[in-house]
Amino acid sequence: MTVAHPKTVYLKDYQPPRFRIQQTKLHFTLREQFTEVKAVLQLERQPGSDERELRLHGQELQLQELRLDGRLLGEGEYELTEEELIVFSVPERFELSSVVHIEPHKNTALEGLYQSRGLYCTQCEAEGFRKITFYLDRPDVLSVFTTTIVAPAGDFPVLLSNGNKIESGTNADGTHYATWHDPFPKPAYLFALVAGKLSCVEDHFVTMSGRKVTLQIFVEDKDLDKCEHAMRSLKNAMKWDEEVYGREYDLDIFMIVAVDDFNMGAMENKGLNIFNTSCVLANPRTTTDLGFQRVEGVVAHEYFHNWSGNRVTCRDWFQLSLKEGFTVFRDSEFSADMGARIVKRVEDVQLLRTLQFAEDAGPMSHPVQPASFIEISNFYTLTVYEKGAEVVRMIHTLLGPELFRRGTDLYFERHDGQAVTIEDFVQAMVDVSGRDFSQFMNWYRQAGTPVVKAQDHYDAETRQYHLTLSQSCPSTPEATAEQKAPFHIPVAMGLLGEAGALRLQLAGQEVDDLPADNTHLVLELTEREQTFVFENVPEKPVPSLLRNFSAPVKLEYAYAPDDLLRIITTDDDGFCRWDAAQQLGIMAIQANQTDAAFKAQDLANAFKLVLDDASLDPALVALMLDLPSETYLGEQQAVVDVDGNYRARRAVQVQLAEALEGGLRDVYLRCQQALSPLGDSVEGKAIALRSLRNRALSYLTLLYKQEYRSWCERQFASSTNMTDVLAALTCAVQSQDPDIQPFRTRALQEFYDRWQHEPLVVNQWLSVQAADPGEGALARVKDLLQSPAFDIRNPNKVRSLIGVFATQNPRNFHAVDGEGYVFLADQILLLNQQNPQIAARLLTPLTKWRRFDAHRQHLMRDQLRRIARVSKLSKDVYEVVNKSLVE
């Protein structure tokens, strides 16, 4: 859709639907040139409404026939616009039947019904169903669907839709058909259809009430060896949701289909999840450990939606976080339970602090419950998902696990089968706890990342410790800093003495009422400034603040290096330990840039303690040894110092490698030894060891020594799992060692030759090169764009090459000649018509122009303006470009 001046939709304008659709009967005939869709809808006016005019959504549909209660409607009885079908006069209860033609093979936007490598599939969320048939395409219209698919039996042996298959058979003309019925009323965005040549892996799960559910994963034949992990993850997720949330699956069958061309990770269609191949296929030979973890998380996420999203759905799209924030919280706790809890937490926080905080501070900043949008596809954001999950996590922290569970029980029970709001979710929490959440709602309604400043004072005479917390929130498009009301912020904390955690006694508390091990507290900051006084504090403590990242805020406290060392060595909160290492890393990098007192050698001393601490999980050690990314460093600066950050970070890495060489060698060899009996296992222990070993290798290859070059070569040649192979290849590409170049060239070629027929592996190969910080990377990316390894119609390839270049290669993307920006804008303009959702996503790095120096600002804005001038902009691109150009 291209619209000259797209209109803004507001939450405050919400109106309930005027009609209900009791039954939806769909009949698809798949033909080579077009698909015929017949829809028979049983409609009913909402009680209390006297509306006679019926308006249905519909886009790019060729209407063939329209009948009301069986009578063919004449031209004067309805009107067709670009976006609607208006039937001028309808009775109270009636049947509307329509026949339309659509052209899935021409659908490059991958929204609605489209083809991916010959396979028919759908993506309807948020507003794709209107590209399939005329309908009330809004989440608060729930209907019971029966779907028949007719297609040539030879090319499309598998025909799937939601619910249970109730009929199938063959026709004399070589076609066959299947009819599916879904007994659960659902909004149209959860509709799905798949037709094609697919193979299937089958298993089953017995639910807590003893029902046997058939589980099927459909993939191309060549991928049958990559389904085991997804199946295991699915069964684990089903069990976990029963145990942790008391939620049981409700149909007799649960299907997953893998497709190659998909705009995002996966989609939770009722009973028939459709997945991007990248989020379902996994085999150690082709998939990294990170890939395995992603499959586990996404499979669980989509499964969890069956309750948080499908059984209880959203009233309107402003409530998106109702299902997404909650479901991300659920999947992240699931992953934490399946693997290393602290590692998962750190990864989530890294994502939030580098990318969501940047979104919150940029021109597209919006509340978790947005107040308006032009194109809803632009609001599937880190704010709605990740910050939304943090907000649910805070409710969990404030209520504790038992009350929280009572709250979710009440929510599911009260709203089963309904389309509800974020307020309904919070109300359930209020009702079980009796607590007041009115101030807490600011988290949903105000955008921006709050800043919490902590200051303290210790009085040795009175043995009192004063901790003063104050909060503020920067201006965002919807409100200035002054207009913002204070947030209700849970600040989890402890106090560390020289010999470990101190007992906490707040002023006014009786010692006898406190448990002996009272070393952890959740303070609730609700005012702009509050002071908390602790009694009987025996020594000046180091505060351990925002434990487990208890709120999505920026915490400011003037830690001295020694304070951070104390946290790193004695805190029992893994997040605070990791964060303290990050802060030391920032100090060392800044010192490199400014010549301050804290030196890389001091950091090396701290890292040595980490390396030597046998009690730490190797995966956490690997994370602690990783310096803050260039992007995160930029986040801490008023004006991002692109070149300085790259140079200083690299310099500190080299100094660390030099200072810690012996320790890193030991670690590499020790991990290698520990791994040998584990082979290519993808269990937690092996994953952790590989991550630490590969961290060591990445440091050692910065030393430009023959010995480590040969370690790298050997690892590349002899490993049989993709994690280790790709880590070695990445080291060769990232290290600027001139003597590693011959190996690098050879390895890249060998890798491609070996894996060219595995698209997901080729994508990783594209990404490694896209992230190459070296000179000439852009030219190589452009060459790759023309190579058979790339295809601009495939979103995974676009993300792997163009997306990675623009987001993970700051040095080349932000090159002073502006060529990186021109390149990105060129690609966006190519994609604008073809796939608007992907085009709009790619814009993100350019929208951050305000964060850079005047020269780069100018160049970035030039490209945004160049895009804005194009007359046929999709709504998606129009919204992002125009919002980011607002002065």
Q: Which residues are catalytic?
A: 302
CB of 798 to ligand B3K, least distance (A): 15
Tokens 């009636």 belong to 94
Nearest residue (CB) to Zn ion, 327 versus 884:
327
Nearest residue (CB) to Zn ion, 388 versus 450:
388
- 125's contact among ligand B3K, Zn ion, none, with CB below 5 to 8 A by partner kind, is ligand B3K
- 491's contact among ligand B3K, Zn ion, none, with CB below 5 to 8 A by partner kind, is none
- 264's contact among ligand B3K, Zn ion, none, with CB below 5 to 8 A by partner kind, is ligand B3K
Summarize as ranges the residues that interact with ligand B3K (CB under 6 A): 125-126, 264, 266-268, 301-302, 305, 324, 377, 380
Alpha-carbon torsion 748, 752, 754, 760, what sign? Answer: positive
CB of 264 to ligand B3K, least distance (A): 5
Nearest residue (CB) to ligand B3K, 264 versus 611:
264
Rounded Cα–Cα distance for residues 838 and 831 (Å): 7
Residue nearest ligand B3K, CB atom distance: 125
Residue 565's nearest CA partner among 549, 548, 583, 547 is 583
Nearest residue (CB) to ligand B3K, 387 versus 851:
387
Radius of gyration of the chain (CA): 28
Nearest residue (CB) to ligand B3K, 289 versus 302:
302
Nearest residue (CB) to ligand B3K, 406 versus 793:
793
Q: What are the Cα distances from residue 774, in Å, to 592, 649, 695, 769, 818?
A: 21, 15, 20, 10, 16
Summarize as ranges the residues that interact with Zn ion (CB under 5 A): 324, 327
CB of 322 to Zn ion, least distance (A): 11
CB of 234 to Zn ion, least distance (A): 15
705-743 as b/e, with b when 16 or more CB fall inside 10 Å?
eeebbebbbebbeebebbbbbbbbbbbbbbbebeebeeb
In contact, 46 and 20? CB cutoff 8 Å = yes
CB of 57 to ligand B3K, least distance (A): 16
Residue 308's nearest CA partner among 324, 319, 294, 285 is 324
Nearest residue (CB) to ligand B3K, 820 versus 836:
836
CB of 431 to ligand B3K, least distance (A): 27
- 377's contact among ligand B3K, Zn ion, none, with CB below 5 to 8 A by partner kind, is ligand B3K
- 380's contact among Zn ion, ligand B3K, none, with CB below 5 to 8 A by partner kind, is ligand B3K
- 126's contact among Zn ion, ligand B3K, none, with CB below 5 to 8 A by partner kind, is ligand B3K
Please state, as a whole number, how many other Cβ atoms lie within 10 Å of the Cβ of residue 301.
26
The DSSP bridge partners found for residue 80 are 85
Q: What are the Cα distances from residue 301, in Å, to 45, 273, 766, 837, 885?
A: 36, 11, 27, 21, 35
- 456's contact among ligand B3K, Zn ion, none, with CB below 5 to 8 A by partner kind, is none
CB of 401 to Zn ion, least distance (A): 23
- 664's contact among ligand B3K, Zn ion, none, with CB below 5 to 8 A by partner kind, is none
In contact, 857 and 849? CB cutoff 8 Å = yes
DSSP codes joined into one string, 653-680: HHHHHHHTHHHHHHHHHHHHHHHGGGTT
Q: What are the Cα distances from residue 315, in Å, to 128, 431, 850?
A: 17, 21, 36
Task: Report phi then psi at 26, rounded to 5.
Answer: -115, 140
Q: Retrieve residue 581's tokens.
A: 């290492």
CB of 305 to ligand B3K, least distance (A): 6
DSSP collapsed to 3 states, 143-205: EEEEEEEEEECCCCCEEEECCEEEEEEECCCCEEEEEEEEEEEECHHHCCEEEECCEEEEEEE
- 573's contact among ligand B3K, Zn ion, none, with CB below 5 to 8 A by partner kind, is none
Nearest residue (CB) to ligand B3K, 567 versus 828:
828
3-state secondary structure of 80: strand
In contact, 616 and 609? CB cutoff 8 Å = no
In sequence order, the 6+-apart residues with CB closer than 8 A to the CB of 106 are none
In sequence order, the 6+-apart residues with CB closer than 8 A to the CB of 154 are 174
CB of 195 to ligand B3K, least distance (A): 21
Rounded Cα–Cα distance for residues 315 and 55 (Å): 19
Nearest residue (CB) to Zn ion, 328 versus 867:
328
